[in-house]
């Protein structure tokens, strides 16, 4: 057999296998295994009925299997060689023929190797009997399969050698049941005590020791009374054989697989020894029938107890892992957040860290039954309740920003976040939440918003200065008409007789011209004045028409034609009227400037509004000017970047900031036939809170 070893230069085949020498631990296990094997064989012969060739309980096979499970697989050969002298010695003392000695060693070794190999291969680690799966693998392969197969070999050897010759199937049956019983009772006992016995004895308390002693004394007393009560006769009543059962259950529940296996071993040894002495409830029939009845009884008691102990240990392990996981989770949450809280499946807060009490002054009793809402700002209270109830019903994540009252009657902003902990059946077991103080962030956002609004207002005032000539022209027309009409009215009134009808018509014209001038001034004030943002439902087409009317004179001065393609059936937009007017105004004025060097016949701007999606409206301003290069499509939105000779480079930057605050987007594209088109989107007004 060749092994392939990976070297730096490639894969080099090795034609020989180097066997590792046994280490100290393996030598110790081999030595102890040899001694235990010898003692087990002596016990096995002592528990053999005089008329049988096979023992009622044969410990050596189980001892060998336990040693193999405790030893690395590479040292199994050393262990088998170590127990061979013990096997030969004990068999020779019992008068067994030499051929039968070696035949039995082969059958015993085959049973141990089959069981150990299957268990090691399927479990993939140490056998601890701490899960139903591990216990099931052990029972199926080590307890049932290995004795089942090896018993055929053993029975054949007995018949061929003619050692206490009996019927083949009788030998097979006696050997099979005896070895099944031995594997069930001895292997868990040896493996568990060898692996954890010393550690358990060290960490056990005096109370635990006292309980174990009480259990041992009670079990031993009951077992002796039940199985050795009479020396002759049919023995005790059959129902009394179940008296040790409460003690066995006590051992499984309180002491786990190690306690259960130890208690089982006591009952098995006492009952078999009593049967060999002609005592107890299993002596009323022929010897083979008595042995079979006793073995079946002990196997029937041992199997469910082994599985019960494994299930209890598995549950304990899962509960311990769950507690450790919850402890780690809570520690992480508490380390990453200022306030941590827990709520039951109904959403009632049952625990909050001291930080909440220190901030709000509420006690643990105050927060019960949704009492924590009393510390929430009145304007945020109902919304917080609704969001929390929605999360509870939907079993989803809870997120909220709310203001919390402090001891000094002030308020601080918090971001609340909670996740549901689900049980195995999908129901909510509890909620784990954390509150993070975001007051400083909110303050910074408010200051930034105020600065942005102030910058936008300054930009509007600057734009008004750029429009001074067109605004003067816009106001000059109605003022000139008012002056001319007033002078005409004076002449009509000076006439003899005065023409009052003409004067009345002139006064109507004066009122209309005054209204025209007032509208110009009103639009100027609306753009220039400082107001708080007011997000409402808006007629986007109406806003565009108002701005186009406002720049009407400037368009005439620049020789630009403004074309509108608006759909009057558009849904309302959601935003601030003045800021959206500023965006449209800035884009129109930029379009006018871009076409300054173009022929007069090509100076045309197309303003279009349409529904881009179910949630967004789109406005585009298309010009036929000099256009924008590919490299400038994003640079033009950066602060202080401008392509104008006298520009400051803030207009488009402010426009993008305004559109972003409306949850929209502002961008530009080059037109295939020259010029550029600027687009921006704003949300639809319906369903927006």
- Please check the confidence at residue 467 and state whether its pLDDT lies above 60: no
201-205, 264-268, 648-652 — which one is most confidently predicted on average? 264-268
543 plus 671 within the same structural domain: yes
- Report the range of poorest mean pLDDT among 32-41, 333-342, 536-545, 674-683: 333-342
Which residues are CB-contacts of 623 (< 8 A; sequence separation ≥ 6)? 591, 594, 595, 604, 605, 675, 676, 677
Whether 630 is covered by a domain: the verdict is yes
Which helix (H) or strand (E) segment holds residue 430: the answer is strand 428-437
113 CB neighbour count, 10 Å cutoff: 17
Cβ contact 140:124 at 8 Å: no
207 plus 312 within the same structural domain: yes
- Report the range of poorest mean pLDDT among 214-228, 425-439, 534-548: 425-439
Predicted local distance difference test score (pLDDT) of residue 388: 85
220 plus 251 within the same structural domain: yes
Cβ contact 612:641 at 8 Å: no
Predicted local distance difference test score (pLDDT) of residue 276: 78
590 burial via Cβ count (<10 Å: 0-12, 13-18, 19+): buried
644 plus 554 within the same structural domain: yes
656 CB neighbour count, 10 Å cutoff: 19
The domain that holds 507 is classified in CATH as: 1.10.287
The domain that holds 417 is classified in CATH as: 3.30.450.20
Q: Which stretches of 559-631 are DSSP H helices?
A: 577-594
Q: Pairing relation of β-strands 604-611 and 561-566?
A: parallel
Whether 606 is covered by a domain: the verdict is yes
As a dihedral over the C-alpha atoms of residue 55, residue 267, residue 251, residue 127, rounded to 10 degrees, the angle is: 0
DSSP-assigned beta bridge partners for residue 416: 400, 435
Whether 144 is covered by a domain: the verdict is yes
DSSP-assigned beta bridge partners for residue 314: none
Report how far Cα 201 is from the mean position of its chain's Cα atoms: 39
Cis peptide before 35 (omega within 30 of 0): no
- Please check the confidence at residue 192 and state whether its pLDDT lies above 70: yes
- Please check the confidence at residue 421 and state whether its pLDDT lies above 70: yes
Q: How long, in residues, is the chain?
A: 689
52 plus 140 within the same structural domain: yes
Classify residue 596 by its DSSP letter: T
Whether 384 is covered by a domain: the verdict is yes
Which residues are CB-contacts of 488 (< 8 A; sequence separation ≥ 6)? 502, 506
631 burial via Cβ count (<10 Å: 0-12, 13-18, 19+): exposed
Structural domain of 406: 337-437
Q: Which of 415, 437, 459 is the last residue of a domain?
A: 437
Binning pLDDT at 50, 70 and 90, where does residue 249 land?
Answer: very high
Number of domains in the chain: 4
132 plus 45 within the same structural domain: yes
Exposure pattern of 77-93 as b/e (b: 16+ CB <10 Å)?
A: ebbbebbbebbbebbee
Whether 364 is covered by a domain: the verdict is yes
Cβ contact 597:624 at 8 Å: no
251 plus 110 within the same structural domain: yes
As a dihedral over the C-alpha atoms of residue 125, residue 126, residue 132, residue 135, rounded to 10 degrees, the angle is: 120
Of 55, 43, 46, nearest to 277 by C-alpha is 46
Q: Three-state SS for 51?
A: coil
- Please check the confidence at residue 457 and state whether its pLDDT lies above 70: no
Q: What is the DSSP string of 143-195?
A: IIIHHHHHHHHHHHHHHHHTSS---HHHHHHHHHHHHHHHHHHHHHHHHHHHH
Q: What is the pLDDT of residues 343-385, one digit of tens each?
A: 887 878 877 777 777 777 777 777 777 778 888 888 888 888 8
Q: Which of 417, 437, 457 is the last residue of a domain?
A: 437
Sign of the four-CA dihedral 651, 652, 657, 662: positive
Whether 125 is covered by a domain: the verdict is yes
267 plus 297 within the same structural domain: yes
642 plus 525 within the same structural domain: no
Q: What is the mean pLDDT of the chain?
A: 78
Whether 306 is covered by a domain: the verdict is yes
539 plus 505 within the same structural domain: no
Classify residue 243 by its DSSP letter: T
291 plus 187 within the same structural domain: yes
Binning pLDDT at 50, 70 and 90, where does residue 202 land?
Answer: confident
361 plus 260 within the same structural domain: no
Predicted local distance difference test score (pLDDT) of residue 136: 93
Predicted local distance difference test score (pLDDT) of residue 113: 93
> Which pTM does this prediction carry?
0.52
Give CA–CA dist 85/101, Å, rounded: 11
Q: Which of 508, 531, 554 is the last residue of a domain?
A: 531
Predicted local distance difference test score (pLDDT) of residue 513: 59
Give CA–CA dist 305/555, Å, rounded: 97
Of 507, 505, 503, 481, nearest to 491 by C-alpha is 503
Whether 11 is covered by a domain: the verdict is no
Predicted local distance difference test score (pLDDT) of residue 354: 73
């Amino acid at each position: 057999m060749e092994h392939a070893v990976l070297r730096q230069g490639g894969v080099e085949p090795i034609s020989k296998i180097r066997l590792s020498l046994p280490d100290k631990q393996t030598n110790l296990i081999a030595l102890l295994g040899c001694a235990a094997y010898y003692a087990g064989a002596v016990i096995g012969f002592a528990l053999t009925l005089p008329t049988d060739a096979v023992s009622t309980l044969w410990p050596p096979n189980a001892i060998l299997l336990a040693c193999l499970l405790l030893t690395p697989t590479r040292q199994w050969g050393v262990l088998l060689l170590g127990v061979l002298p013990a096997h030969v010695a004990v068999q020779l003392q019992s008068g067994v023929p030499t051929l039968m000695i070696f035949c039995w060693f082969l059958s015993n070794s085959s049973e141990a190797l089959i069981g150990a190999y299957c268990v090691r291969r399927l479990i993939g680690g140490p056998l601890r009997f701490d899960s139903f799966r591990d216990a099931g693998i052990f029972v199926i392969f080590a307890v049932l399969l290995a004795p089942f197969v090896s018993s055929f070999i053993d029975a054949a050897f007995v018949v061929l050698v003619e050692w206490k010759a009996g019927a083949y199937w009788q030998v097979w049956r006696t050997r099979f049941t005896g070895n099944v019983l031995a594997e069930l009772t001895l292997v868990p006992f040896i493996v568990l005590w060898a692996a954890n016995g010393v550690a358990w004895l060290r960490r056990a308390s005096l109370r635990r020791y006292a309980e174990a002693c009480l259990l041992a004394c009670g079990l031993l007393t009951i077992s002796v009374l039940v199985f050795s009560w009479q020396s002759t006769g049919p023995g005790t009543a059959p129902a009394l054989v179940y008296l040790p059962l409460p003690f066995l259950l006590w051992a499984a529940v309180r002491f786990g697989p190690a306690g259960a296996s130890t208690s089982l071993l006591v009952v098995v040894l006492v009952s078999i020894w009593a049967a060999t002495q002609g005592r107890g409830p299993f002596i009323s029939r022929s010897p083979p029938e008595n042995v079979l009845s006793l073995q079946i009884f002990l196997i029937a008691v041992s199997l469910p107890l082994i599985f019960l102990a494994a299930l209890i240990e598995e549950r304990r392990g899962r509960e311990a892992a769950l507690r450790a996981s919850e402890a780690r989770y809570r520690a992480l949450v508490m380390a990453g957040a200022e306030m941590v809280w827990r709520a039951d499946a109904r959403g009632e807060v049952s625990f909050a860290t001291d930080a909440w009490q220190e901030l709000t002054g509420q006690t643990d009793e105050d927060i019960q039954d949704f009492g924590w809402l009393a510390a929430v700002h009145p304007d945020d209270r109902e919304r917080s309740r609704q969001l929390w109830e929605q999360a509870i019903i939907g079993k989803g994540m809870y997120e909220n920003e709310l203001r919390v009252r402090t001891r000094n009657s002030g308020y601080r902003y918090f971001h609340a976040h909670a996740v549901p902990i689900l049980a195995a059946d999908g129901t909510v077991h509890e909620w784990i939440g954390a509150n993070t103080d975001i007051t400083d962030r909110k303050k910074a956002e408010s200051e930034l918003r105020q600065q942005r609004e102030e910058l936008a207002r300054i930009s509007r005032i600057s734009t008004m200065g750029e429009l001074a000539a067109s605004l003067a022209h816009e106001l000059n027309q109605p003022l000139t008409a008012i002056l001319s009409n007033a002078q005409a009215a004076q002449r009509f009134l000076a006439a003899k007789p005065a023409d009052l009808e003409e004067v009345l018509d002139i006064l109507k014209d004066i009122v209309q011209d005054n209204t025209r001038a007032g509208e110009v001034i009103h639009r100027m004030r609306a753009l220039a004045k400082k107001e708080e943002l007011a997000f409402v439902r808006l007629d986007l087409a109406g806003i565009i028409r108002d701005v186009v009317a406002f720049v009407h004179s400037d368009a005439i001065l620049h020789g630009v034609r403004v074309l509108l393609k608006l759909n009057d059936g558009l849904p309302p937009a959601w935003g601030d009227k003045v800021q959206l007017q500023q965006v449209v105004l800035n884009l129109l004025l930029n379009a006018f400037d871009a076409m300054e060097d173009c022929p007069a016949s090509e100076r045309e701007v197309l303003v279009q509004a349409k529904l881009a999606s179910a949630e967004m409206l789109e406005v585009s301003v298309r010009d036929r000017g000099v256009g924008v290069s590919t490299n400038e499509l994003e640079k033009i939105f950066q602060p202080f970047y401008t392509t104008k000779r006298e520009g400051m480079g803030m207009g488009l930057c402010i426009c993008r900031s305004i559109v972003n605050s409306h949850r929209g987007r502002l961008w530009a594209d080059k037109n295939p036939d020259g010029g550029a088109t600027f687009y921006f989107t704003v949300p639809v007004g319906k369903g927006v809170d």
